[in-house]
Amino acid sequence: MRYFVLGPVRMDPRTPTATKVRALLATLLVRANEVVPITSLVDELWDDEPPRTVITTLQVYVSQLRTQLAAGLPPDEPRDRLLQTRPPGYRLNIADRELDLTVFESLRAAGLDAYEHGDFTDASALFAEALGLWNGVALAGVPHGPLLSAASVRLEELRLGTLERRVAADLRVGRHRELTGELLALTGAHTYREALHAQLMVALYRSGLQSDALAAYARVRKALADELGVDPGPALTRLHERILRSDPTLAWQEPNRSRSSARPAPRPVLWLPAPTEDFTGREKALAAAGPLIGGTAEGEPGVRVLDISGRSGAGKTTLAVELARRHADAFPDGQVLIGLRGSRGRPLDPAQGALALLDHLLGPAERRRRSAAAEHPADVDEVCHRLVEELRGRRLLVILDDATTEEQVRPIVAAAPDAFVLVTSRRRLAGLEGGRHLTLDVLPPAEAQRLLTRIGGDAAGGDPDSVREIARLCGYLPLALRVAGATLVARPHWTAATLAERLRTAPAPLDVLAVGDLDVRSALLVGYQESPGTERRAFRLFALAPASGFALWGAAALLGTGHGAAERVVERLLELRLLEVTGPETAHRYRIHPLLRALAVERLDAEEPESERRAAAGRLAAAYLALATHADRTLLPGRPHQTAARNTPPGPPTGPTRAAPTAPGARAATARGTEPGLTAQTAQAAGPGRPGATGAAAIPTPPAVAAPTARPGGPDAPARAATLGVPATPIAPTVPTPPTVAAPTALTARPGGSTAPGAVARAVPWARIVGDSPVRWFQEETPGALDAARLAHEAEHWPLVWQLAEALTGYLEAAAGWPQWEELCDLALDAAGRAGREDVRAAMLRSLGDLAWQRHRTDEAAHHYQQAAALFRDLADPAGQAGCAVGSADIALSEANPDRAERLLTEATLLHRDADDPRGRADVSRGLALADLLRGRGEDALRRFSEFTDAAELLGDRRWTAFGRRSAERILEHLVDWSSSQRMPAPASVEARPGVWLVYALPA
């Protein structure tokens, strides 16, 4: 808002039309930021004749005025923020620079200050600028009551006093000739102002018009005598006498030519923060920037601009100042750092930035004047014009700190042809013509530790392990390291180990990284807050992504958009330094710096509704599930995904809430007939129906996963499987496909109405993402998938949890990834319990049994198998029971008890008569082969392994096939030494499953 009283009363953007309301405004303005009592307002507006309903009428005027004032406020601001009711009246809140009167007074005060210091040229300019704010008679256009009348008189007196001062300053600098005309007019208008008459006499006298000066005196003397009956005052009389005697001291004294004829050489300017004493590392950056600044860079002699960009806290300013310090000799006219942000962190506009530099180049008086007029920066061209004049021939180093746009920098670069401009910016200012760019990343670990040790002193010096840990937890970010070091100094009772522990365990690590005015959170927050809304939302949601990093498909899933839209947001976040890219060019991965991630987590909790957090977690888990299922079926074809396709067994109604079957992605997948099981699985993913969360519990339909075009078992593997009664997809055909369900609108509706998840799913090339190397995909993504499962569990997407567990445990079993395997099973077991899914519990207990067996925890394994077998029996699932019997047989084999193993495997064979489980039957063959081997029945073992290998081939499982073949080869190698009728010695070790060795005797 802008208010004007030095002329007609008005305000921007809209002035009240009603006279009384304007009078009310004027009254409040002359008493701005004070409470004006209602009684005073009534007196002002109605004098002695207030209407009967005066209070009501006044309130109406106040209301009208508030309406006008609200036009200048942001829409979300309260309407009465500016004009507040404050008993016993009202108070109009205005900022200093919003009222022309305040600006006038500031300029006048600056002028007086300059005048007092003998800087008459500046004083004259300041007074002139102050008077330029006047636009007629003060408080014009409104009726004046007692208050406004007094104010009007005071203002006019103020104006005239300022005018006299300006004229006095002009006379001091020899502008007497230019003044005579103006003074003649002024004395005509203000007959009794003797000071003006005196100034007119001096101006005339110095202009060589002594007689006119004497005549002027005669005129004023006559006017005073005729109209007031008084003589001129002593000052005027003394002046008259001095003119009469041609007092030489009254004549214009030409200033000393030696001072004024040539412009004095400006003194060097130095306006830099003190260099950082503990500046550490950055050798490469210094080496790269040094030749550019020194003008010795080969092939780049004309470079005058270097943009140092990097994330918040990367140490850009510190580096720039260090560069300035190191190259001080090359800039004899000085070094200046200009912060391109205002007091509230808002970026300065180009004129303000240029003006800030100009202020530093000009003397203190100019700075005073500019300071007084800061709200009215001159036009950028004008400022630059002055900059050109000031900078001409001056070899300066200018640091423009924390630039946000190229526009802030360009005018200064253009105005300073002889200066070198160092720019620091978070975003790379790629549009800077002719500039060079230096990107500053975090410090290498060794440099980070050195910096921390230097700052942290003794506490850090004696504990290199903790220093290493702190540096890692700080993400090697220089600002964070600096704060961490300062924390150790500020808290001598903390050891480095204490700080490391706090950083590691604090729920909000950024709380720990604040000491004094050093605050990492504030620094990081600036970048976040300046980002557009779409990027801010993405940044928040990426807090849910795995800390180890994520690919573009993960970003798309979290955002609920297509790849293209996700890529645009990701690129923008990279540009804003809120995200970083890792991995090879062909497979970019993204990650958020650990401390920025901590910020993202905070913002996610603070700004994102729980429903959106849960939905995003569901989308991410669904994406992982789709990819993991695809990778699993490529790596381990034929492995059943048992729990996914089962119906919910009868039980308490605590199962997942199902939504209406309208998901487009699900429909599309089913219609194409691609992996219907997967569609069904993930479509079921819904929360447990918590009060108020039913709609948000479901997750978006996952993408359909295309079956691998070339199955590892050969092109005819599905057909061969069919001859065994095995479906091409591993979902048991006897289990009806659950109804397809939709992502409810509560989930799909997102800010900005972005693409529906179903459409996203269809757009994502899942098979291409996994590629031909599912092992690599699992190796890279398993930590992230585990994170996604944890999030899904937290968000109560129970089916997603166990489906993810099932999709990953095949790989984890093959890779012996014990801790992850165990955690996934535990999560899935818990999810199954909460959702009342006994079939899932049984499957997970069996998987835990397999895990415990691999780890040689036989008692634990036996316990899990027993529990699982009991559940499978209750569920009438003979295949499941058989699987538990095979697991128990493996335990017996571990204990070198082939008799017990054979009994259990025979039991499994009987159970398989009622189950359609060719994989399970193959596994029985494997167990029987091993039992035969331990008993020394080589031929029988060979036959069993042959059966196993054939079945594995039909299933398309290359891993099992290779295992069966090499097992048979080992037996054959030994059978050569014995006739088939003999019992061969039992082995000291056997490979019981691929890669799992049972060792009965090790070499000594």
Partner 1 sequence: MPTPTPTPPAPSAPVTTLAAGPAAPASDYLAPLVRHLVHRPRTLEGFLRGSTGVQAQDFGLSAVLPERHPLYGDGPGTHHEPHLPLEALRRATLFVAHRYFRVPAGRPAVFSTSEVTLDPAAAWRRTPGPTHLGLELTLTPVDVVGGVPRGLECRAEIRIDGMPCGTARARLVFLMPKVYQNHRSRGRATSRAGHAAPARDPLTERVAPHVVGRADPANVVVARPRTGAGEETLVAEVVAEPGHPVFAEGSPDHVPVLVLMEASRQLAFLHAGQLQGYPPGSCVLAGWSADFQGFAEPDLALVCESTPRPARRDADGRPLLPLSLRFLQGSRQVGTVEVVVGQDC
Asked if residues 306 and 292 have their Cβ atoms less than 8 Å apart, the reply is yes
Structure tokens at 408: 């802030």
Is residue 851 a contact residue for partner 1 (CB under 8 A)? no
Asked if residues 451 and 482 have their Cβ atoms less than 8 Å apart, the reply is yes
Give min distance, CB of 989 to partner 1, in A: 6
Stretch that binds partner 1, among 393-401, 572-580, 661-669, 854-862 (CB under 8 A): 854-862
The residue among 13 and 819 lying less far from partner 1, judged by its C-beta, is 819
Per-residue binding string, partner 1, 978-997, x by CB under 8 A, is ------xxxxxxxx--xxxx
Give min distance, CB of 499 to partner 1, in A: 18
Q: Which of 973, 979, 980, 981 is close enough to bind partner 1 by CB under 8 A?
A: 973
Asked if residues 785 and 624 have their Cβ atoms less than 8 Å apart, the reply is yes
Pairing relationship of beta strands 2-4 and 10-12 according to DSSP bridges: antiparallel
The residue among 225 and 999 lying less far from partner 1, judged by its C-beta, is 999
Q: In what order do the strands lie in the sheet with 334-339?
A: 269-271, 334-339, 397-403, 420-425, 305-310, 436-440
C-alpha 33/C-alpha 27 separation (Å) is 11
Contacts (CB under 8 A) with partner 1, residues 48-107: none
Stretch that binds partner 1, among 161-169, 237-245, 333-341, 933-941 (CB under 8 A): 933-941
Per-residue binding string, partner 1, 619-638, x by CB under 8 A, is ----------------x---
Helix (H, G, I), strand (E, B) or coil at 381: helix
The torsion angles phi and psi of 766, rounded to 5 degrees, stand at -60, -45
226 secondary structure, DSSP code = I
The residue among 834 and 857 lying less far from partner 1, judged by its C-beta, is 857
Give min distance, CB of 921 to partner 1, in A: 22
Stretch that binds partner 1, among 325-333, 386-394, 814-822, 825-833 (CB under 8 A): 814-822
Q: Which of 389, 462, 966, 982 is close enough to bind partner 1 by CB under 8 A?
A: 966
Give min distance, CB of 845 to partner 1, in A: 19
The residue among 181 and 995 lying less far from partner 1, judged by its C-beta, is 995
Alpha helices in 443-562, H assignment, sequence order:
445-456, 458-461, 464-473, 478-490, 496-505, 509-512, 520-529, 533-541, 552-559
Per-residue binding string, partner 1, 857-886, x by CB under 8 A, is x-----------------------------
654 secondary structure, DSSP code = -
**Cα→Cα distances 145→40, 42, 44, 92, 152, Å:** 10, 10, 4, 19, 10
C-alpha 306/C-alpha 94 separation (Å) is 41
**Cα→Cα distances 120→165, 383, 543, Å:** 10, 22, 61
Give the CA count within 13 Å in the CB-facing half-sphere of 104. Answer: 22
Asked if residues 97 and 374 have their Cβ atoms less than 8 Å apart, the reply is yes
**Cα→Cα distances 628→187, 546, 621, Å:** 94, 15, 10
Pairing relationship of beta strands 35-37 and 89-92 according to DSSP bridges: antiparallel
Give min distance, CB of 631 to partner 1, in A: 12
Residue where the block lists tokens 């020394």: 936
The residue among 194 and 813 lying less far from partner 1, judged by its C-beta, is 813
Give min distance, CB of 820 to partner 1, in A: 12
Q: Which of 751, 773, 874, 982 is close enough to bind partner 1 by CB under 8 A?
A: 773
Give min distance, CB of 900 to partner 1, in A: 12
Is residue 221 a contact residue for partner 1 (CB under 8 A)? no
Asked if residues 558 and 619 have their Cβ atoms less than 8 Å apart, the reply is yes
Q: Which of 977, 979, 980, 981 is close enough to bind partner 1 by CB under 8 A?
A: 977
The region that residue 604 occupies, defined by phi over 0 for left and psi between -120 and 50 for alpha, beta otherwise, is alpha
Q: Which of 173, 816, 876, 910 is close enough to bind partner 1 by CB under 8 A?
A: 816
Q: Which of 89, 817, 849, 964 is close enough to bind partner 1 by CB under 8 A?
A: 817
The residue among 284 and 776 lying less far from partner 1, judged by its C-beta, is 776
C-alpha 563/C-alpha 768 separation (Å) is 13
Is residue 765 a contact residue for partner 1 (CB under 8 A)? no
**Cα→Cα distances 5→26, 31, 138, 617, 724, Å:** 7, 12, 6, 59, 96
Stretch that binds partner 1, among 117-125, 498-506, 741-749, 851-859 (CB under 8 A): 851-859
Q: Which of 421, 814, 843, 913 is close enough to bind partner 1 by CB under 8 A?
A: 814
347 secondary structure, DSSP code = B
The residue among 441 and 991 lying less far from partner 1, judged by its C-beta, is 991
Task: Calculate Rg over the CA atoms of the chain.
Answer: 43
| Site size with partner 1, rule: CB under 8 A | 48
For residue 519, give the nearest of 312, 372, 318 by alpha carbon: 312
Per-residue binding string, partner 1, 634-673, x by CB under 8 A, is -x--------------------------------------
The residue among 720 and 935 lying less far from partner 1, judged by its C-beta, is 935
Is residue 710 a contact residue for partner 1 (CB under 8 A)? no
Contacts (CB under 8 A) with partner 1, residues 885-914: 894, 896, 898
Q: Which of 748, 854, 888, 909 is close enough to bind partner 1 by CB under 8 A?
A: 854
Q: Please, which contacts does 947-953 make with residues 24 or more away whose CB atoms are closer than 8 Å?
A: 947/922, 948/922, 948/923, 951/918, 951/919, 951/921, 951/922, 951/925, 952/922, 953/713
Structure tokens at 366: 């100019």
Stretch that binds partner 1, among 106-114, 505-513, 786-794, 971-979 (CB under 8 A): 971-979
The residue among 335 and 949 lying less far from partner 1, judged by its C-beta, is 949
The residue among 528 and 811 lying less far from partner 1, judged by its C-beta, is 811
* Amino acid, single-letter form, for residue 672: R
Structure tokens at 101: 């009167």
Q: Which of 78, 507, 753, 1003 is close enough to bind partner 1 by CB under 8 A?
A: 1003
Is residue 786 a contact residue for partner 1 (CB under 8 A)? no
Asked if residues 676 and 712 have their Cβ atoms less than 8 Å apart, the reply is no
Stretch that binds partner 1, among 247-255, 326-334, 432-440, 850-858 (CB under 8 A): 850-858
Give min distance, CB of 581 to partner 1, in A: 25
Q: Which residues bind partner 1 (CB under 8 A)?
A: 635, 773, 775-776, 779, 814-818, 854-857, 894, 896, 898, 934-936, 958-959, 962-963, 966, 970, 973-974, 977, 984-991, 994-1004
